[in-house]
Amino acid sequence: MAENADLIALGREIRRRRKALGISQEALAERAGLHRNYIGFLERGERNPAATTVFALARALGVSAAALVADVG
Amino acid sequence: MAENADLIALGREIRRRRKALGISQEALAERAGLHRNYIGFLERGERNPAATTVFALARALGVSAAALVADVG
């Protein structure tokens, strides 16, 4: 997975929103129906999630999908 | 691919934006570096694109990624 500025920006926003909620990667993974490790990869921009995964994360974080990708290019 | 309201909403927005630009699915595919048929599937909500594909489509349509997913969920 070549470094991708968009995925890094998305990951940073997922982390920022998760920390604002004060929840762990494990708690976010559980809410979104994902594996705990996957959250770590996403937050570092090391995975290219499917659209439905981005939408599930937005719901799990209590924000709109648009808010979660707001920082992307 | 079970019918997914979010993917249908995303597809509808891709189509709406493409039509507003007055370009064909083929032209959009070329701009975004995708296969022409894939655009048709996406617009019908029949595919679950990777995040980077959504971002490439937004750029090809000249809108932000946030605008493209604004109607989702």
Closest C-alpha to A6, from A64, A68, A61: A68
pLDDT band at B73; cut points 50, 70, 90: confident
Cβ-Cβ contacts under 8 Å, B72 against chain A: 55, 64-66
Domain of A15 in residue numbering reads as 5-59
Of the partner residues A51, A59, A69, the one whose CB lies closest to the CB of residue B49? A51
Structurally, how many domains does chain B consist of?
1
pLDDT band at A71; cut points 50, 70, 90: confident
Output the average pLDDT for chain B: 94
Within an 8 Å CB–CB cutoff, is residue A7 touching chain B?
yes
Per the structure block, which two tokens stand in for A33? 């129906």
Of the partner residues B51, B67, B70, the one whose CB lies closest to the CB of residue A51? B51
Say yes or no: ipTM exceeds 0.90: yes
Would residue B55 count as lying in a domain? yes
Q: What is the pLDDT of residues A3-56, one digit of tens each?
A: 699 999 999 999 999 999 999 999 999 999 999 999 999 999 999 999 999 999
Would residue A24 count as lying in a domain? yes
One-letter amino acid identity for B70? A
Would residue B73 count as lying in a domain? no
Provide the shortest C-alpha distance from residue B72 to chain A (in Å).
Answer: 7
CATH number, domain containing residue B12: 1.10.260.40
Would residue B39 count as lying in a domain? yes
Residue B63: how many other CB atoms lie within 10 Å: 17
Closest C-alpha to A58, from B20, B2, B65, B61: B65
Percent of chain A with pLDDT over 90: 92
Would residue A40 count as lying in a domain? yes
Would residue B51 count as lying in a domain? yes
Q: In Å, how far are A35, A44, A48, B7, B52 from A3, measured between CA atoms?
A: 22, 10, 11, 26, 12
